[in-house]
Amino acid sequence: MVATLARPGRLLAKRLLLIQLSVVMVVAVGMGLTINADWGLSALIGGGICIAANAVFALCAFMFSGARAAKLVMATFYTGEVLKILITVILFSVAYMYMEVDLVPLKLTYLLVLAINIFAPVLFINNKK
């Protein structure tokens, strides 16, 4: 019973991550073909940073469910959010310090994938009545 409560949220998170991954791949291939391979790689890294952080958050957010585990749900939710921010900072630091990346496609793709989170409710509206 408790696992069934979190199932719709897990499915929505999985769908959102797949949509984000497909957008990153399309943008990276598009930039790689139209501009150059360095822009494509930078776009892939920028989108990958956002997807990795969101995947860790989704794993933590849906780890527990149910009224009896309310404190665990909140604790893992906040832990997931902190980990998401830390992973984002660490991965951007690694990308800036150790990789030769172009900043425009890196940040542009990161912000594009982040915008998908903002517009996700519009993507998942269910008009079935």
Express each pLDDT in 65-110 by its tens digit. 666 667 887 888 899 899 999 999 999 999 999 998 989 999 999 9
Diameter over CA atoms, the chain: 54
* Residue type (1 letter), 88: T
Query: Are the C-beta atoms of 54 and 24 separated by less than 8 Å?
Result: no
Task: Return the closest-CA partner of residue 125 out of 12, 40, 6.
Answer: 12
Dihedral of the CA atoms 47, 36, 38, 87 (nearest 10)? -10
Query: Are the C-beta atoms of 50 and 113 separated by less than 8 Å?
Result: yes
Q: pLDDT by residue (tens digit) across 7-56?
A: 777 888 888 899 999 999 999 999 999 999 999 999 999 999 999 999 99
Other Cβ atoms less than 10 A from the Cβ of 105: the count is 25
Query: Are the C-beta atoms of 22 and 112 separated by less than 8 Å?
Result: no
